[in-house]
Amino acid sequence: MSLYSNPTQSGSAAIPIVAPTSEKEISKNVPSKYSTQDSKARTCRNLIIHGYCKYEGKGCKFNHDINKSTSPPNSPETNKSKLSVNSPVFKPTNILSTISPEVVNAPPFIPKNHQLSAVDETPITPPSAPGSPQQQLFYDSGEHEYDTDMSIFDPTISFYPSQSLTSSKPFLLSSGGVKGHGLNALANSFASLATQFSALDTLPDVTTQHMNNTSYFTSSHYVDPFLYHSQQTLTPQPLQYHLYTSPLPHVSNLHPHQKTIHAFFMSDHLREELQQKNEATLSSVNAKDFNLPEELHVYHSLYPLDLGQGKSVKIFGYPSFTYKSICNVDGLGPLLAMTGFRLTNEIAMSTIESWRRIRHANIVSIREAFTTKAFGDHSLVFVYDYHPLSQTLFDKHFSSPIQTAVQIPGVITNIPETVLWSYIVQLASAIKTIHASDLAARMIDPTKILLTGKNRIRVNCCGIMDMLAFDGGKNIHYYQQEDLIRFGHLIISLACNSLSSVNNMPKSIEFISRQYSPDLKSVIIYLISKPTPDKTIDGVVAMIASKTLHDINSAHHYNDFLESELSKELENGRLVRLLCKFGFINERPEFDMDPSWSETGDRYLIKLFRDYVFHQVDENGYPVVDMSHVLTCLNKLDAGVDERIMLMSRDEQSCLIVSYKEIKNCIDSAFRDLSRRK
Ligand SMILES: Nc1ncnc2c1ncn2[C@@H]1O[C@H](COP(=O)(O)OP(=O)(O)OP(=O)(O)O)[C@@H](O)[C@H]1O
């Protein structure tokens, strides 16, 4: 693609249509092979395209009487039903075949996928020498012929930068976008997109044609969108992934059409949640203000996670602190530092290896453990995976005053049974994995179980007790039984909404049997029953089998939800990169000592394309805010398809017919210029 110049310059693969500026200019540009007599016999092209000619009576030599058929018999102009002002049909696909490039001294442009219609009997002007840029300038002199298969052109639209020139009839994105913006336009756009994909299936040698992006948008066969679904017998063809946008959102119940824009993107709730998590991940403090070491092994940027609560000795027997940190090697990791602990038995460190091998969705993975004196005394540091904005079960269910108050049966603060079952299923799954690895959790406590998402729990701080009270694994069965009893106590506390409920078992069980189902009570009774060799986590898993299925179902539903939200954002990265390039190029005040750089050459085309995508207005002059139009255009641009569009200057005096592929080349070349270092 060579440099573009303002429409008056040649050397472009685009095909400018330029309105004549004066009578003199008109006559100057009319090729000599047509006499004045011929000109009078031919219908003025301004009349055909715009519905009127502002030079009528002021020197334009062409015929302005639309009812007078003066065209040669074989000319497509004779088909007045398609070319009348009342029903203008405009399709420049075949215009290209009959325009002499000599008119403007430019080599002809023959698109690779150019399809000559059967009605076009005029010989094609030979292209320029092989290898030269295939270009053609289309001058609005009237010395050209139309075929009958033109895109619809509405002369009543006041400012309409461009129209899609695809021959695929159902694809009326531009006109649909202008005339019926909002929901209909949205639906039309996607229906047309789907139609084009379906058209792909009907082509005989799709793979070959698809390689040059031809078959999609230049197929002249209209394919009913509903036919798409009945094409199952055909072998699926490779698709142009770049052309996809996310599927049409459910917009039928939405009224204000602005809302449809939101429907294209991730839900606000999920976005906010993820943004808060990112914020938490990036939060930092000045280490000196908190009297923290600036570096600790391969970790730095320590950030205290238990700011309000201070040192706690009740679980581990040593004061412990939790920090978020950044690892030099692989990013984030929260640290749990135990101060005042001196590791005497080096073998205890080896227990961490067994824990490092455990990967489970309900267990916070441990990365490593090491000793340090960075906190001013002997400390043992454990490093776990970081789960931003997580809360402990204690914080969630037992920290507010109403929750810690003495439980009054029947008071609203009960945790719903479905939530309890979800906790039970997840904990049982975690404990089963731990026990199967010949380990014991020893951390089934509300302060050591993290809530990392909606009802999503993970057992935290695993492996610490094995190191603090190292016994070489001798008492593992005892600790496993203890896990089950602690598991039972945790569920009782949650069900009764009180940590002290475990001190009065009969009353608590009676409360649970009144508030919850017998199944829940049975599981609790099993968990807190006397340890026996037969009492294992497998017994619990068998008892909760049906609830597990329900939990799996919920997890899959949530997974579907997240996947659909993700698909909405799938193309963002690509499109943002493209928009960034636009931003670098468009309206640039100066480049390479040239103040008009962004307005001339290839960049002029990019500017017109920007207008085509973003600055269209409808027949009443209102901006067309059609996101699907923007997304479709950008996707086609990114894919560099051969489909051509007509770009029009803001003064409506010149048009350029150009393919997405050429615009893409222009953008790439302009961007390369900008990033080039001399
Ligand atoms: N792996 C982790 N990822 C993210 N946050 C964590 C992680 N581990 C702990 N936290 C957060 O750090 C905070 C402190 O954790 P900690 O284990 O010290 O709990 P605690 O409630 O302070 O218990 P204790 O009473 O033993 O001090 C908690 O609010 C918890 O949400």
**87 Cβ contact list (under 8 Å, min separation 6):** 81
- For residue 359, pLDDT beyond 90: yes
Please tell me the predicted confidence (pLDDT) of residue 253.
59
Average pLDDT over residues 4-25: 43
221 within a domain of the structure (yes/no): yes
CA of 322 to the centre of ligand 1 (A): 6
CA of 366 to the centre of ligand 1 (A): 14
Rounded Cα–Cα distance for residues 141 and 148 (Å): 19
CA of 448 to the centre of ligand 1 (A): 7
Instruction: Assign residue 609 the CATH number of its domain.
Output: 1.10.287.3700
> Hey, whose CA ends up nearest to atom 23 of ligand 1?
447
CA of 320 to the centre of ligand 1 (A): 10
Please tell me the predicted confidence (pLDDT) of residue 660.
95
| Helix, strand, coil percent content, the chain, rounded in steps of 5 | 40, 10, 45
Closest by alpha carbon to 188, among 171, 165, 163, 200? 171
Q: What tokens were used for 341?
A: 């602990």
Q: Based on the domain organization, do 542 and 490 belong to the same domain?
A: yes
262 within a domain of the structure (yes/no): no
**Domain boundary pick from 255, 289, 320:** 255
- For residue 391, pLDDT beyond 80: yes
State what percent of residues in the chain have pLDDT above 90.
34
Rounded Cα–Cα distance for residues 539 and 481 (Å): 12
330 or 216, which is more confident? 330
Q: Based on the domain organization, do 561 and 582 belong to the same domain?
A: no
CA of 450 to the centre of ligand 1 (A): 8
**Domain boundary pick from 546, 565, 584:** 565
Please tell me the predicted confidence (pLDDT) of residue 343.
78
Please tell me the predicted confidence (pLDDT) of residue 594.
84
- For residue 642, pLDDT beyond 70: yes
How many angstroms separate the first and last alpha carbons of the chain?
22
Please tell me the predicted confidence (pLDDT) of residue 341.
78
CA of 392 to the centre of ligand 1 (A): 7
Task: Kindly indicate the confidence band of residue 366, based on its pLDDT and cuts at 50, 70 and 90.
Answer: very high
Instruction: Assign residue 519 the CATH number of its domain.
Output: 1.10.510.10
CA of 372 to the centre of ligand 1 (A): 20
Number of domains in the chain: 4
Q: Based on the domain organization, do 487 and 592 belong to the same domain?
A: no
Q: How many Cβ atoms are within 10 Å of 594's Cβ, its own excluded?
A: 12
Q: Based on the domain organization, do 134 and 61 belong to the same domain?
A: yes
Q: Based on the domain organization, do 285 and 419 belong to the same domain?
A: yes
Q: Based on the domain organization, do 132 and 50 belong to the same domain?
A: yes
* Residues contacting ligand 1 via CB (< 6 Å): 305-306, 309, 312, 315, 320, 322, 334, 364, 384-387, 390-392, 394-395, 447, 450, 460
Q: Based on the domain organization, do 391 and 448 belong to the same domain?
A: yes
Task: Kindly indicate the confidence band of residue 74, based on its pLDDT and cuts at 50, 70 and 90.
Answer: very low
Please tell me the predicted confidence (pLDDT) of residue 53.
76
260 within a domain of the structure (yes/no): no
The residues pairing with 366 across neighbouring beta strands, listed in sequence order, are 384
536 within a domain of the structure (yes/no): yes
412 within a domain of the structure (yes/no): yes
- For residue 479, pLDDT beyond 50: yes
Please tell me the predicted confidence (pLDDT) of residue 266.
82
CA of 382 to the centre of ligand 1 (A): 12
Q: Based on the domain organization, do 343 and 440 belong to the same domain?
A: yes
Rounded Cα–Cα distance for residues 516 and 511 (Å): 8
Average pLDDT over residues 461-483: 91
- The per-type count for the chain, helices as H runs and strands as E runs, is 24, 16
- For residue 487, pLDDT beyond 80: yes
Average pLDDT over residues 566-571: 82
Question: Per-residue pLDDT tens for 569-590?
Answer: 877 888 888 899 989 998 888 8
What phi and psi, each to the nearest 5 degrees, are found at residue 14? -75, 160
Please tell me the predicted confidence (pLDDT) of residue 607.
92
Indicate the residue type of 513. S
Bridge-based pairing state of the strands 654-659 and 295-296: unpaired
Closest by alpha carbon to 582, among 619, 624, 637? 637
Please tell me the predicted confidence (pLDDT) of residue 537.
96
> Hey, whose CA ends up nearest to atom 29 of ligand 1?
391
Average pLDDT over residues 239-254: 56
Q: Based on the domain organization, do 200 and 180 belong to the same domain?
A: yes
Question: Greatest CA separation found in the chain?
Answer: 112
> Hey, whose CA ends up nearest to atom 11 of ligand 1?
305
**Domain boundary pick from 545, 565, 585:** 565
Which atom of ligand 1 is the closest one to the Cα of 448? 17
- For residue 246, pLDDT beyond 90: no
261 within a domain of the structure (yes/no): no
Highest-pLDDT range among 88-102, 160-174, 488-502:
488-502
Rounded Cα–Cα distance for residues 431 and 429 (Å): 6
Q: Based on the domain organization, do 37 and 179 belong to the same domain?
A: no
Q: Based on the domain organization, do 383 and 405 belong to the same domain?
A: yes
Which atom of ligand 1 is the closest one to the Cα of 394? 21
Give the domain range for residue 634. Answer: 572-675
The residues pairing with 139 across neighbouring beta strands, listed in sequence order, are 18
* 382 in Cβ contact with 461 (< 8 Å): yes
Q: Based on the domain organization, do 288 and 396 belong to the same domain?
A: yes
529 or 408, which is more confident? 529
Average pLDDT over residues 239-255: 56
Average pLDDT over residues 324-340: 82
Please tell me the predicted confidence (pLDDT) of residue 446.
95
Query: How large is the angle between the packed helices 476-496 and 505-515, nearest 10 degrees?
Result: 60
Q: Which of 27-36, 315-324, 357-366, 452-461 has the lowest mean pLDDT?
A: 27-36
CA of 306 to the centre of ligand 1 (A): 6
Question: Per-residue pLDDT tens for 266-318?
Answer: 888 888 899 899 888 888 888 888 888 888 889 999 999 886 555 567 778 88
- For residue 185, pLDDT beyond 90: no
Average pLDDT over residues 130-139: 33
The residues pairing with 327 across neighbouring beta strands, listed in sequence order, are 299, 331
CA of 200 to the centre of ligand 1 (A): 56
> Hey, whose CA ends up nearest to atom 25 of ligand 1?
312
Q: What tokens were used for 508?
A: 């608590």
Rounded Cα–Cα distance for residues 82 and 75 (Å): 13
Rounded Cα–Cα distance for residues 452 and 448 (Å): 12
Pocket test for ligand 1, best of 276, 283, 299, 306 (most atoms within 8 A of CB): 306
184 within a domain of the structure (yes/no): yes
411 or 72, which is more confident? 411
State what percent of residues in the chain have pLDDT above 70.
61
263 within a domain of the structure (yes/no): no
Pocket test for ligand 1, best of 390, 442, 461, 462 (most atoms within 8 A of CB): 390
Pocket test for ligand 1, best of 305, 364, 448 (most atoms within 8 A of CB): 305
